[in-house]
Chains A and B, each alone.
Chain A
Amino acid sequence: MIKNDNRAYEELIKGLWRDNPVFVQVLGMCPMLAVTNSAINAVAMGMATLFVLVGSSFLVSSFRNWIPKQVRISCFIIIIATFVTVADYTLLAIVPKVHKELGAFIPLIVANCMILGRQEAFASRYPTRLAVLDAIGMSGGFLLALFSLGAIREILGDGALFGVKLFSANFEPWVIMILPPGGFLTLGVILLFFNWFKEKKDEFLADVADAERSGG
């Protein structure tokens, strides 16, 4: 039982950092860049994706023994599209303003390759409990990535976070950051940072291994 709990914890936590869908696997880029011009949009998008991913992982995993192999992709897509429609109308009812700003990008959650990828790689193969935990972890990681990108872009491009001004009037906003090129550049720089971090870590591990070899 303890082993089982470790496993569940592992599935939940891996999406947040080690297998982060955006920074490590580079999936789901389209919504990632398109809606992150402000932190609030990024969070709304992340929550919608969380709902869709958890819901569809639950359904796909529960039905995994009934879905025929040949048509599985179409089945997954239809399940995902159903949840996206629900999310679309829910957002329209609760926060019409955010819904208007996100516009066509809410229906486009269907085409987020991260969601389909999780169904194919995980939910269709594992029991429901693990699938839901995996979905929560992955979409948590996605939300984290969306929020950090959205926050960086809003702070630099607008001098504000969640609409609250952070700097004095002397701050000249970098308008380019909230325009499309800023999205590409910010994400590029973040990925650069991740590469650098990984290289340093590899060097460190190699050094440790060397030291152990010479010491032993």
Chain B
Amino acid sequence: MDNLPWIFISALLVNNFVLTYFLGLCPFLGVSNSLETSARLGLATTFVMLVTAVCAWVLNTYVLVHAPYLRLICFIVVIASTVQFIEMLIKKLSPALFRAMGIFLPLITTNCAILGLAIFATNRGYGFWEGIVYALGAGIGFTLALVLLAGLREESELSNIPQIIKGTAMNLIIAGILSMAFMGFAGLFSAA
């Protein structure tokens, strides 16, 4: 139980899903043009991650013991139905947010960060609480990366940038520099 804080910090900073594992790059590059939208998408993704972690644990413990080759198909079906559920929930609760997220809400299904979370947690043999903490750290880490990039992009909208570098090329280079900064966290573990 005492490794829980380390799992959290590792998923949040040291092994940040976006900047170290390259997971969830599509929303990272696609939605990060406004702070507001990216923060909300990050929260929605975090929630899906939590639900997925719980489902993955249940499936792994009770169902897939006898049929490990069905793991991938089971996970993806669970994720797809969770996303569908959240989509209906958001549509009901906040239609404005629903419109703002547009196509990227259903696309959470193909966000590899979520499937990646389920697979990593399985490979490392995490238990119930470890899985939840891992999902929380990964989700907040994803939101953090998204918000950081969105903030930088909002600033860059106002500056005079050569036409040729605008768009994905600049975002990737910014992401590269952010990723370098996050590599600095790698020292956290050996220091502790």
* Number of A-B pairs, beta carbon distance below 8 Å: 119
Q: Is the CB of A176 within 8 A of B180?
A: yes
Which B residues form the contact surface with A (CB < 8 A)?
A: 19-26, 29, 69, 71-73, 76-77, 80, 106-107, 109-112, 114-116, 119-120, 123, 163-165, 167-173, 175-177, 179-180, 183
Q: Which residues of B contact A85 (CB under 8 A)?
A: 69, 72-73
Q: How far is the CB of B127 from chain A (nearest CB, A)?
A: 19
Q: Which residues of B contact A180 (CB under 8 A)?
A: 19-22, 179, 183
**A residues 32-91 in Cβ contact with B at 8 Å:** 32-34, 73-74, 77-78, 81-82, 84-85, 88-89
Q: Which residues of B contact A32 (CB under 8 A)?
A: 22
Q: Is the CB of B177 within 8 A of A181?
A: yes
Q: Dominant SS at the B interface?
A: helix
Q: Dominant SS at the A interface?
A: helix
Q: Is the CB of A107 within 8 A of B72?
A: yes
Q: Is the CB of B112 within 8 A of A26?
A: no
Q: Is the CB of B115 within 8 A of A110?
A: yes
Q: Is the CB of A81 within 8 A of B164?
A: no
Once bound together, how far apart are the Cα atoms of A30 and B111, in whole Å?
9
Q: Is the CB of A181 within 8 A of B183?
A: yes
Given contacts A30-B24, A89-B69, A195-B169, contact A108 B112 (CB under 8 A): yes
* Residue among A74, A107, A183, A185 making CB contact with B22, cutoff 8 Å: A183
Once bound together, how far apart are the Cα atoms of A93 and B25, in whole Å?
30
Once bound together, how far apart are the Cα atoms of A77 and B179, in whole Å?
31
Q: Is A156 located at the chain interface by the 8 A CB criterion? A: no
Given contacts A33-B22, A184-B175, contact A84 B183 (CB under 8 A): no
Q: Is the CB of A185 within 8 A of B80?
A: no
Q: Which residues of A contact B177 (CB under 8 A)?
A: 181
Q: Is the CB of B25 within 8 A of A33?
A: yes
Q: Is the CB of B179 within 8 A of A184?
A: yes
Once bound together, how far apart are the Cα atoms of A27 and B176, in whole Å?
18
Q: How far is the CB of B137 from chain A (nearest CB, A)?
A: 17
**In the A-B complex, the 10 residue pairs with the closest CB atoms:** A184-B176, A188-B172, A111-B112, A185-B176, A188-B173, A191-B169, A29-B25, A181-B179, A34-B22, A33-B22
Given contacts A33-B22, A104-B116, A112-B112, contact A88 B72 (CB under 8 A): yes
Question: What are 10 residue pairs bridging A and B, where the CB atoms are less than 8 Å apart in the complex?
Answer: A29-B22, A73-B109, A74-B80, A107-B72, A108-B116, A113-B26, A183-B176, A184-B179, A187-B172, A188-B171
